[in-house]
Structure 1
C-alpha cells in the first residue's frame, strides 16, 4: 500500500481520492479493525501525498479529536444502559408491555416494539437492543405461537430504534463531527422515532390479518396485573422521563443528563439487588470496552478526514456536484444507496465517521438542514444493519436463537420497506424532524 501511495504525491485529486477509498475498503475486507484502518490510510496519505509531510501533527490531531466535552456524554450513556441491563429491568419492561398489549391483536409484537423503543432510550445502541430483546422477547413470542419470521423480523426492526430514539450515541458522534448541537439532534429524533415505532406496530397488525396463523390470540390480563407490572418498572420510567425532560427543557447538557442517568441506573441496580461487586465490575468493563472502541474510531477518522480536508477533496466534490447541476433529490437518492450498501458491511458509527467529511459538505451545499440530515443519516445506517445478506443485527439474532438466517431475512423485509418509506416521508415532509426542535427554540 505504501508503494501505491508513493506514486500519488504528484497525481490528480481524483486518483488520490480513489486510492484512499479503495485502500480503506480493501483493509476492511481483510478484517483490519475500523479504527486501525482509518488511521493507517490517513497515515499513508499524510506521509506520501503531502509535499511536506507533517507527521508530528498526528499526536495533536488524535488528542484534539477526543478531548471534547461533547464526547464525555458517550461513556455516561453507555454506563447508564449497561447498568440498566444488569439490573434486569429490561425483562420487567417487556413483561409490563405484554400485560398492557397482550390482549390486542399482535399484542406481543407491539410489546416487543415498545420495549425496543423504550430500551433504546437508555442504551443508545442498536446492537445492544438487538442482543437484549433477542434474549428476552424472541423466546417469549416463539413460546406463545408467533411465527419465527414475524418474531425475528419484529426484534430486528425494533432494534433499529436504538440510535434514532434519544439519547443516541450515534447522534452524539454526528453532532461532534459536524458541529451540530447535540440536544437539538436528540429532540429531532423523538417524533421520527415514535412515528417509525407506530408504523412497525401497524405492520404487525397488517401481518396478523394477512397470516392469521402467524399471530395467535393473546391472553387477557386484569387491571390489577397491569398496574402491578407497571409499578415494577416505575423507577425506570421516571429515569427516562428525567433524562429526556432535562434535555428538552434545557436544564442539563447531554453529558450532565448522562451522568445523572448513570447514577440513577446504579440506584436501580441497588434496589433490584444487582449491585454486587462483580456486577458493577462487569458493567464498568463493558462500558470501557465500548467507549474505547468508539474513541479509537474517532481518532482514526480524525486523521483520515484531516488528510481529505488538507487535499481539498471535499471542496472538489462539492464543486463537481454543484457544477453538474444535479437535482437535490437525485443526489440524496445516490447518497442513500451508498449508505445502504455500506451499512451492510460496516457498523453504523464507523460508517458515519468514515464518510461525513465527504458527504456532509455536499448535503449542506445543496441546502439541506444539518439537523434533518443527521436524523436521515441515522435512519439510513440503521437500515444497513438489518439489510440482508450481511446486516450485523441479523447475525446477532442468528447466534442467539435456533432460527435460520433465511427466516430472519424474510421476516425483516417488510420492516425494511417501511423504513425506506419513512425516508421518503422525511424527504417530502422535513417538519417531521424539525417541528419539535423549533418548538424547543421557540
Structure 2
C-alpha cells in the first residue's frame, strides 16, 4: 500500500476521505426516503410517479457508472471524482426550487452524478492495495459510510415534519460542499497507469463480459443487494400506508437495516482475509434469505407490527454487509488493469438490477395486497443471490488447484 498523508494532494487519500465520498452517495439515496409521501402530496402526484426519485435515480446511477469507470481509467480518479461532485452540488441546489414533479425528478436524476464517489472509492482501494486486502479495506470503508444511511432517514423524517422536504436538500448541499473540499485537499491521484484512449476502456467491456468469474461476482452483488433496493422502493409505502407510521417513525426504523449493514461490514473487514470472499458471500446471502423468511412468517401469523418488517430487515442489512465487500472485491480484481471499468460495469449491472426491482416493488404494492408483494420480491432476490454465489464457487472448483483462490483472493 502506498504511503498516505492526510490532506496531501500528492499521496493517496486517507480512508476517512473514502468513507466521506461513499457516505455522500449513500446519504443522497437514503435521506429522501421518509419524504416520498410528502413530496407526492406537495406536487399532487401519484406515489408510483414520485417513487421514481428512487428507482429512476438508481437507473440513472447505473447508466452513469458505465461512463465513470472508463473516464477514471483514462483521465484519472481525481478529476472525474471532483467533476461528479461539482455536478451533484449544482443539482442539489436546484432541487428545492423545482416548480413541478417532472422538473423535480429530472433534477433528481442529475443528482446521480454523486455515484462517482461510490464507484471510484472501490477503484481507488484497488489502486492502493493488493487483491487479498481489497475486500477487507472495502469492508471498513463501507462500515464507516454506513453511518450516513443509518442516521439519514431518521434525520430526514424529522426535518420533513418540522421544515418540509426541501430542507433535506439544504442538508445535502452543506454536507456535499464539505465533502468536495475534503476531496480537493486530500485526494491524490492513484491511477498511475492511465489508459491511452477512452475507446480502449470501452473496449474492455467485452473482455470483462467474457469472464465467468466477473459474471458470478456481479450477479451475486446484483441479487444480494436487490433485496435492499426493493426495500428502498416499497418500504416507505408499507410503513406509511399499511403499518400507519409517520415519517419520523419510518426514519427511526430505517436504522435497523443500516445497523445490520454496519455489523456485516465489520465482519467483512475483520474476517474476509481469513475466511475467503466466496465463503463470506455464501454466509451473507443465507443471512438475508433467513431474514425475509422470518418476516413472511410473522405477517402470515397476523403480527402486523413495524418490528415484523423492520426487525428481520436487520438480517438483510447484515447479509449485504457480509456479501457486498467480497463481491465488489471480486469484481474489480478479475482484471486488475481494468479496475475502474470493472467497478463501473459491475456497479451499473448491480444498480440497474436494483432499479428494476425497486420499480417492481413500488408498482405492485397496494393497501389491498399488504406487504406480501414486497416481501416476495425481497425473498426471491435473496434466494437468487445464494444461487449466484454457488455459481461462483462452482467456477472456482473447476479450476486447477494451483489457480484456485486462496482466502482473501479473487481471480
TM-score of the superposed pair, with normalisation by structure 2: 0.31
Instruction: Compare CA radii of gyration and give the structure with the larger one.
Output: 1
TM-score of the superposed pair, with normalisation by structure 1: 0.29
